Amino acid sequence: MHIVVCIKQVPDSKEIKIDPKTNTLMRQGVPAVVNYYDMHGVEEALRIKDKYGARVTVITMGPPSADKALKQCISLGADEGVLVSDRAFAGADTLATSYVLASAIYKAADTWGPVDMIFAGKQTSDGDTGQVGPGIACRIDYEQLTYVQQIEDINPDTGELIVHRHLEDGVERVKTRTPVLITVVTELNTPRRASLPGMLRAARYTPIVWTTNDFEELDRSKIGLRGSPTIVSKTWVPEPKHVSTDMLTGTGNEVAATLVENLFGTELKHSLGWA
Amino acid sequence: MAEDKRRKMIGLQPEGDVDWSMYRGIMVVVEQRSGVAKPVSWQLLGEARRLADKLDAPLMALVMGQDVSHIAQQAIGYGADIVYHADAPELKDYRTRPYSRVCLKVIKTYRPEIVLMGATYTGRDLAGAIATHLPTGLTADSTQLDVDDERLLLASRPAFSEKMLATILCKQFKPQMATVRAGVFQALPYDEKRTGKIIAVHQDMHENDIVTKVLEFVQDDNRVNLEDAQVIVAGGRGLGGPDGFKLLHELANVLGGTVAASRAATDLGWIDHAYQVGQTGTTVRPKLYFAIGISGAVQHVVGMQNSDYIVAINKDPNAPIFQIANYGIVGDLFEIVPLLTKAFQERLTPVMAR
Ligand SMILES: Cc1cc2nc3c(=O)[nH]c(=O)nc-3n(C[C@H](O)[C@H](O)[C@H](O)COP(=O)(O)OP(=O)(O)OC[C@H]3O[C@@H](n4cnc5c(N)ncnc54)[C@H](O)[C@@H]3O)c2cc1C
Ligand SMILES: Nc1ncnc2c1ncn2[C@@H]1O[C@H](COP(=O)(O)O)[C@@H](O)[C@H]1O
């Protein structure tokens, strides 16, 4: 089995601040981390590898510094890490991203053998669309199962698998067949920590880099900013909700009574039906 | 072998004619399960009605499923002019392939200039596939919609952990697509006298050609539904352990609300992850939110700052949560919460029963 995991390095969101003067993001010096959900995809691929034997290829499209994220996956047990990186890929929206990642998955198949399963995260913390996974599946015509919280069964011989999808109102048990793309939620597993040999291997490992020149059939009008139909026309910081916090003081009984009185004095009385 | 290398790549060029002026009207894809439409679909029709009127264009709805003609009828009552109705056993449960097939066929035949879906799990699954196939631009999880003089869809959405809003356009292709967050827009009052056209959509699908099978759906009635909760009583590390949540349940019960938690509390295993509010949990916008023993880290705050009223209880007067709270109480939650429960109980119990 050959499993590809798509991971993305994202800015550590708790470190992102907004410049109050220019209303732009201050990204400088913001540390990068692997998108939270994607590590659950890596873990699931490694569990399948541990159980049935599989080759695990981790792919990311991003700047050269994203090689750190790949090394982290190598330290956990992934076989190869591919960095798809080129200035021409920059500024991609989900449509252009899915095109490049689909091309990279085809190339990974040519290099290491047919790809049976692809894992992607439910969504990223910066793009936050959840569209890239379905986009890749559509591009290369794989079955698509999103929001998977459990893989109940895999038959490595027939390629049949049963998964549980986590939906708003319940859980759906679905059966399908490889080749398949799965997007994962955090309930799926608990990511492991790197082992010492893993860390040693990662320290020596240099991720493979593919640039536009490595893709024979890449249509350059379909990548990067140029290949992205969506344009950000404007960004703004929403007016901070004007709150003048009312700090209630007094004994416990007093503050409790004051709070109840105050809340009953608002429109909540009607909207919550507190007759 | 050389042929093997030429791989299929879907969604590189729009198929067929590219006379974008042929695309007119707004289409809302209605989501349903077991014959019950999701509220977000009617909310979307409400907002799309406003946009369609502004564009002077028809409002269309696409209803897919098995035995869902009543939903097609409802779509008219909620504001649609034309409903495309695809009814087939293959469409009983949502599956990406049959649903996207019908959806693509309807889009290519009737050419809406804007297509909207709920930003639900199903909506995102389907929209991601459709937009790639067409191909066209897709804005995820919008919270504001508008159209301009050039008939461009202005879809605005939170970006960077809800710290900013961004307006996103697609000038290049049609239809312009967006998924829209539940609970943001309001449905029109249902008007059963409203009239409209229902057009049946036929497709030749065969179950044997569909690889993916839905084996069962286990409805989870206990599933925490934070998104729709009107009152949320959330607790954090300050609760000191799973027992602390009992206090919160008591308060929530009196208010008819739901308990929730910070990530610190879910990570410590005090309560299930499903209850987590925040960036990596659920984004909520109840009418009333209690943050109890929660410091107010940005990852938590982004998930609840749009609540109508926020009450914070924390023993640290400098806790950042107070900056966004309407009411703040500095004190020990173990003392305050039971008193609060009692005070609400007394106030909410009808005078007669006292
Ligand atoms: C990538 C990433 C994603 C994250 N996503 C989320 C997310 O989705 N949701 C989320 O919540 N967090 C998230 N976090 C974690 C977040 O940064 C904070 O660590 C977390 O929200 C803190 O939870 P807390 O407020 O319960 O705990 P703490 O920060 O420890 O706060 C506990 C508070 O309780 C108060 N307290 C203690 N005892 C009492 C008492 N007896 N009475 C009254 N007050 C008391 C203390 O003064 C303190 O303010 C994320 C972090 C990262 C890195
Ligand atoms: N640049 C990228 N490189 C590799 N994988 C990506 C990239 N962008 C998105 N993905 C994958 O697609 C998932 C969904 O991303 P998004 O659609 O941006 O929310 C992520 O969790 C990743 O698995």
B174 and B288 housed in the same domain: no
B62 and B194 housed in the same domain: yes
What is the overall mean pLDDT for chain B? 92
Decide if pLDDT at B133 tops 50: yes
Minimum distance, in Å, between the CA of residue B125 and any CA atom of chain A: 6
Amino acid present at B101: R
Taking CA–CA distances from B342, the nearest residue in chain A reads A256
> Do the domain assignments include residue B134?
yes
Report DSSP state, residue A194: P
Decide if pLDDT at B223 tops 80: no
Q: Does B310 sit within 8 Å of A134, measured CB to CB?
A: no
Mean pLDDT value across residues A155-181: 96
Q: Is the separation of the CB atoms in A264 and A274 below 8 Å?
A: yes
Per DSSP, helices labelled H in chain A are 36-52, 67-76, 94-112, 132-140, 196-204, 252-264, 268-271
What is the overall mean pLDDT for chain A? 93
Tokens representing A41 are: 């995809």
Decide if pLDDT at B354 tops 60: no
Mean pLDDT value across residues B133-137: 97
Tokens representing B208 are: 């044997």
Question: Residue B28 — pLDDT band, cuts 50, 70, 90?
Answer: very high
Residue A123 CA, ligand 2 centroid: distance in Å: 7
What count of other Cβ atoms lies within 10 Å of the Cβ of residue B352?
A: 5
Which residues 6+ apart lie within 8 Å of A17 measured at CB?
A25, A26
Q: Which residue has the higher pLDDT, B352 or B230?
A: B230
Atom of ligand 1 nearest to the CA of B277: 9
Q: Considering only the beta carbons, identify the residue of B159, B165, B311 that sits closest to A259.
A: B311
Residues of A within 8 A of B256 (CB-CB) are 272
> Do the domain assignments include residue B14?
no
DSSP strands (E only) in B196-281: 197-200, 213-219, 231-235, 258-261
pLDDT digits (tens, 9 = 90+) for B151-209: 999 999 988 766 778 999 999 999 999 999 887 788 899 999 999 999 999 988 999 99
Cβ density class B261-288: b for 16+ within 10 Å, e for less: bbbbbbebebbebbbbbbbbbbbbbbbb
Decide if pLDDT at B5 tops 60: no
Mean pLDDT value across residues A107-130: 94
For ligand 1, pick from B299, B321, B333, B335 the residue to mutate: most ligand atoms within 8 Å of CB.
Answer: B299
- CA angle A143–B116–B135, rounded 5-degree value: 50
pLDDT of residue B3: 46
| Total number of domains in chain B | 2
pLDDT of residue A23: 63
Mean pLDDT value across residues A19-26: 68
Half-sphere exposure of B214 (CA within 13 A, CB side): 17
Minimum distance, in Å, between the CA of residue B92 and any CA atom of chain A: 13
What count of other Cβ atoms lies within 10 Å of the Cβ of residue A198?
A: 18
Ligand nearest to the backbone CA of B332? 1
- Rounded distance between C-alpha atoms, residue A252 and residue B335, angstroms: 7
Q: Angle between the B96-110 and B121-133 helix axes, to the nearest 10 degrees?
A: 60
Tokens representing B115 are: 């297509």
Residue-range definition of the domain harbouring residue B241 = 231-347
| Rounded (10°) CA dihedral B55, B59, B60, B63 | 130
What's phi and psi for B219, nearest 5 deg?
-65, 135
Mean pLDDT value across residues A131-150: 98
pLDDT of residue B157: 93
- Rounded distance between C-alpha atoms, residue B39 and residue A178, angstroms: 34
Mean pLDDT value across residues A100-106: 98
pLDDT of residue B161: 64
Decide if pLDDT at B236 tops 90: yes
Minimum distance, in Å, between the CA of residue A173 and any CA atom of chain B: 5
Q: Is the separation of the CB atoms in A230 and B316 below 8 Å?
A: no
Ligand nearest to the backbone CA of A33? 1
CATH number at residue B268: 3.40.50.1220
Ligand nearest to the backbone CA of A14? 1
Residues of A within 8 A of B135 (CB-CB) are 95, 229
Half-sphere exposure of B94 (CA within 13 A, CB side): 27
Atom of ligand 1 nearest to the CA of B293: 34
Decide if pLDDT at B98 tops 60: yes
Q: Is the separation of the CB atoms in B255 and B286 below 8 Å?
A: no
> Do the domain assignments include residue B220?
no
Domain with CATH 3.40.50.620 in chain A: 2-222
pLDDT of residue B78: 98
B273 and B314 housed in the same domain: yes
Q: Does B287 sit within 8 Å of A271, measured CB to CB?
A: yes
What count of other Cβ atoms lies within 10 Å of the Cβ of residue B36?
A: 12
Q: Considering only the beta carbons, identify the residue of B100, B133, B299 that sits closest to A14.
A: B299
Q: Which residue has the tokens 């002026």?
A: B21
Q: Does B211 sit within 8 Å of A173, measured CB to CB?
A: no
Mean pLDDT value across residues B47-59: 98
B172 and B253 housed in the same domain: no
| Window from A102-106, A252-256, B32-36, B296-300 with minimum mean pLDDT | B296-300
Residue B98: cis peptide before it, omega within 30 degrees of 0:
no
Decide if pLDDT at B138 tops 90: yes
Mean pLDDT value across residues A33-39: 94
pLDDT of residue A158: 96
For A2-222, the fitting CATH number among 3.40.190.150, 3.50.50.60, 3.40.50.620, 3.40.50.300 is 3.40.50.620
On whether ipTM exceeds 0.90, the answer is: no
pLDDT of residue A22: 65
Q: Considering only the beta carbons, identify the residue of B127, B214, B310 that sits closest to A174.
A: B214
Q: Does B212 sit within 8 Å of A230, measured CB to CB?
A: no
Q: Which residue has the higher pLDDT, A256 or B352?
A: A256
Mean pLDDT value across residues A14-26: 69
Q: Does A241 sit within 8 Å of B309, measured CB to CB?
A: no
> Do the domain assignments include residue B224?
no
Q: Residue A197 in 3-state DSSP? A: helix
- CA angle B306–B307–B313, rounded 5-degree value: 120
- Rounded distance between C-alpha atoms, residue B261 and residue B245, angstroms: 9
pLDDT of residue A247: 96
pLDDT digits (tens, 9 = 90+) for B304-336: 988 999 999 999 999 999 999 999 999 999 999
pLDDT of residue B2: 39
pLDDT of residue B162: 66
Atom of ligand 1 nearest to the CA of B265: 26
CATH number at residue B122: 3.40.50.620
% of chain A at pLDDT higher than 90: 81
Strand pairing class (A208-210; A80-84): parallel
pLDDT of residue A231: 93
| Window from A23-27, A200-204, B122-126 with minimum mean pLDDT | A23-27
The predicted model scores a pTM of 0.82
Mean pLDDT value across residues A7-13: 89
Q: Residue B137 in 3-state DSSP? A: coil
Atom of ligand 2 nearest to the CA of A124: 19
